[in-house]
Structure 1
């Protein structure tokens, strides 16, 4: 894993490497990043100063993402935002607070899961997944009627699969998806009961 941080990374030298990107010219950026064979994620401060004034953090981001690598931009004036699985924006305080949790996960699983830079423990990450699922399915349930019932049940099943990605959800996901599949097969579309089932599953994690 490579990063562009500062002296605070000394405790993580086994997995973080600070490269001398400052002297790379713009036309050589792609070859520079391709040369980093163990590159997983680039962590870049928004105010990083390049010798080539034509280089901006957003040019770095575009190159890194085109290489299918992950990108983190951080600064004291930024709000935390998860753009997608391969890009996040972070406040500096959040980055340094959660860096140890992120690195521990990387050491143990060899997975640069960027959300661990946003959340400083697994339980907060679980709650985040639940909140994303809730926000996604609620509009569908509000619009629920007999004509769109089957579509909404299928969409809900897919969203449960896509949003609840942590292994802690595995057993509950199997149960709720089996329930949904059975209702789809029998065309028994009681969305109130389905919503109650989902809320019951979620409450196990929200209250921890």
Structure 2
């Protein structure tokens, strides 16, 4: 087991449906298209966030403080989204997890498998004790995926942000290393 100090090692993780791989600057255009998708915007970004090509290229080109991996369709090689481990807490041996999938990555089990692959890597290779996440209460698809993989709801931050004229809850979920059994 590794003792995480930085995330400069970017692995390739292969499943039945997906391959998670390091991002390259060449991925910026596809990611720009994905993050421009209305559903991605609704579930991922703060209102008013502006994403530029320059920001995307520099963001994915050189991050060593977090592990960003491209989610690709194993059959076609198409980039469909990302998975991320970030906010490494050395004392707690924990990280925060997030993911996003564009329209062509949804509804085929790619997100579930990608989540399992990165969680397995976090627990089995990085030696994490805890992986946590926060998702919008109205993001039912993501919440189902996280529960299927083994994340447990720890709490709800009620009505934390006004989004599209409605108050939205943030659901806090986590999984501990001893709860991980290969993803349920």
> TM-score, normalized by length of structure 2?
0.28
Higher relative contact order (CA 8 A, sep 6+): 2
> TM-score, normalized by length of structure 1?
0.26
Q: If you compute each CA radius of gyration, which structure gives the higher value, 1 or 2?
A: 1
Relative to its length, the structure with more helix (as a share) is 1
Relative to its length, the structure with more strand (as a share) is 2
